[in-house]
Amino acid sequence: MNLKQLQQQIENNAMANFYIVTGEEETLLSHAKSMFKGLVDQEDRDMNYSQIDLTEQTLDVVINDAMSVPFFGDRRVVVVKNPQFLTATGKVGDRDQELLLKLFDQPVLQNIVVFFANDLKLDKRKKLAKVLLKTAENISLPALNERQTQQAIVQQLDQRSYAIEPEALHELMQRTNAQYTDMKNELPKLITYAEQTKKITLDVVSALVPKTLTANAFDLGDAVIKRRPQAALTLYHDLLQNGEAPLRLNAVLTNQFRLLLQVAGLSGNDQDIGAQLKVHPYRVKLAKEALRSYPPQFVRTGYLGMIDIETQLKSTSQDPELLFERFILKNFQ
């Protein structure tokens, strides 16, 4: 189910006793959490709303809260974060497992227990995971695709009587890797800057929205493959000067070249390839566009060069910029 269906359950007072929430879109996950929190009146939350992070607390706290009837209220809501016990590596004691299975079978009818699994990989072979998945309502909140992200951003701006130029929206997506949560977080300062004109332009986005490391790595890889050595060396130098660790920068560059090679060898739409490679479909789209003008041998040379630089960074004390410069001058003059 999605958030719209959850809202319908709330309006119809037809809530389940257990929910498990999965997904990667932080904004949607946060919204879901707010919806569950809103089920308990403000004045009752100290007694009847709890949020338990299992990286900091133990399962018995969850069990005790979930088995306790509401205190002077209509319902109790228990939000459980990081339920590692549902994964392959998570451990749970025999007593806790016994009590949880009893809880799943005989819940306190006034209580709602919500497990925010987010992007954890649940082990469906485990008895607890199997029973919970069968018992609970499953709310799936996957990352928005490119079209959904654009629509959501444009709609939010439209609600405030703002507009964004197509070129500006495209640049905003590139600078944030089309991550909806990151794009949404950039809107307040863009709105403030464009208060007089009510229009967000390309210049405004370029001036106010910093590029992610992945976006910079895309530009850097582009400069390398298109044999613009000075642009590549300058960008590499600037990234190091801005505090990027050489090994991290090299790893992101390696991933960028690897993605290009993988996309070149696959067929299908952006969504399917993205799911297969576990990357955002927008990155697949950018890779496909780039590959139209990239000689395949240059992509392979770039990837192998990054692997070689990584080896040298880990095994020698050579200067990272010097290693990168040698690689550029040797292969992409």
In the chain, domain spans: 3-141, 146-208, 213-331
Please state the rounded mean pLDDT for residues 14-22.
Answer: 95
CB burial of 236-269 (b: ≥16 within 10 Å; e: otherwise) equals beebeeeebebeebbbbbbbbbbbbbebeeeeee
Task: Give the C-alpha separation, 32 to 38, whole Å.
Answer: 10
Q: How far is CA 327 from CA 146, 204, 214, 286, in A?
A: 35, 35, 20, 25
Q: How many CB atoms lie within 10 A of CB 77?
A: 23
What is the per-residue pLDDT for 51?
Answer: 95
What is the per-residue pLDDT for 275?
Answer: 85
Radius of gyration of the chain (CA): 24
- Of 203, 222, 233, nearest to 290 by C-alpha is 222
Which residues have a Cβ under 8 Å from the Cβ of 91 and sit 6 or more positions away? 85
Structure tokens at 112: 């709602």
| Sign of the C-alpha dihedral computed for residues 18, 22, 26 and 28 taken in this order | negative
What is the per-residue pLDDT for 116?
Answer: 96
CA end-to-end distance (rounded Å), the chain = 54
Q: How many CB atoms lie within 10 A of CB 4?
A: 7
pLDDT at 264 over 90: yes
Under the banding of pLDDT at 50, 70 and 90, the label for residue 146 is confident
Judge whether 305 and 220 are in contact, CB under 8 Å. no
What is the per-residue pLDDT for 5?
Answer: 95
Q: Which fold is adopted by the domain 3-141?
A: Rossmann fold (3.40.50)
- Domain 146-208 matching CATH 1.10.8.60: the answer reads yes
Cross-strand partners of 210: none
- Of 282, 286, 289, 284, nearest to 262 by C-alpha is 284
DSSP 52-101: EETTTS-HHHHHHHHTSPPSSSS-EEEEEE--GGGBSS----HHHHHHHH
Under the banding of pLDDT at 50, 70 and 90, the label for residue 291 is very high
Task: Give the C-alpha separation, 253 to 309, whole Å.
Answer: 11
Q: Which fold is adopted by the domain 213-331?
A: Zinc Finger, Delta Prime; domain 3 (1.20.272)
Provide the residue count of the chain: 333
| pLDDT tens sequence across 211-261 | 888 888 889 988 888 889 999 999 999 999 988 999 999 999 999 999 999
What is the per-residue pLDDT for 202?
Answer: 95
